[in-house]
Amino acid sequence: MRVLRAEFVKSASKREEWPREPFPEVAFVGRSNVGKSTMINRLAQKEGLARVSSTPGRTRRLNFFDLELQAGGRKHSIRFCDLPGYGFAKVSKLERMQWAKMIETYLRERELLCGVVVIVDARVGPTEDDLQMIEWLKATERPAIVVATKLDKLGKAKRIPTVRAIERQLSLPVIGFSALDGTGWEAVWKAILAQASASE
């Protein structure tokens, strides 16, 4: 399994700005500063593809990326969508409302969307915002792929027990991931490709 191509496509805030090419699409959601952009860069094996910032709330639009992957003897075209983070961004109430509307419209109406990667900080566990997002995805029948990231911040003996504890809390499978050492890279890609195949 290897990434052949990864490129930024465009940013969008309105439905009419969404890319129109018929690629299976996977969205990435999580609280501000959970490491969405870093995770996308690691999955794409391309540093700097998605802009990484230490300032929560830097992503303010929907950012789309096209990737081509070689796996299982064939090529796969996948589009990623990086959504604004929720939770700790220091922005105005009006801007929060605009973000919420933009994100909800996308998650409800995007026909090409085949799965949503919900990123949880392994050190913190699911926050109330994470739990609300997962429940909302269940209610709207959007398949969720839950990933516990920043696994490298934990001692090796704590990693598997931490992931299992999050699974018990959510009653969902959870993939442990580290953008630093690549733990979980292939498992996340397999989950993404499974959702893409199920949507065909």
C-alpha separations of 131 from 96, 128, 143, 165 in Å: 18, 5, 14, 15
pLDDT of residue 53: 53
* Residue carrying structure tokens 């009653």: 171
pLDDT of residue 110: 94
pLDDT of residue 84: 85
Q: DSSP characters for 162-181?
A: HHHHHHHHHTS-EEE--TTT
pLDDT of residue 51: 79
Find out whether 179 and 98 touch, Cβ atoms under 8 Å: no
Cα–Cα distance between 87 and 32 in angstroms, integer?
Answer: 6
pTM listed for this prediction: 0.92
CATH fold of the domain at 2-198 = Rossmann fold (3.40.50)
Domain ranges of the chain: 2-198
pLDDT of residue 13: 86
Q: Sheet with 174-176: list strands edge to edge.
A: 2-12, 62-71, 74-82, 25-30, 113-121, 144-149, 174-176
pLDDT of residue 101: 83
Cα–Cα distance between 48 and 42 in angstroms, integer?
Answer: 10
Cα–Cα distance between 72 and 152 in angstroms, integer?
Answer: 29
Strand partners, 174: 146
SS3 152: helix
What's 145's DSSP letter? E
pLDDT of residue 87: 65
The two beta strands, 25-30 and 113-121, are parallel
- How far is C-alpha 92 from the chain's CA centre? 24
Residuewise pLDDT in 10s, the chain (200 residues): 999 999 999 999 889 999 998 999 999 999 888 889 999 999 999 999 987 654 444 557 899 999 999 998 999 999 999 998 876 556 566 666 777 788 889 999 999 999 999 999 999 999 999 999 999 999 999 999 999 999 999 999 999 999 999 999 999 999 999 999 999 999 999 999 999 988 76
pLDDT of residue 132: 92
pLDDT of residue 112: 94
pLDDT of residue 55: 46
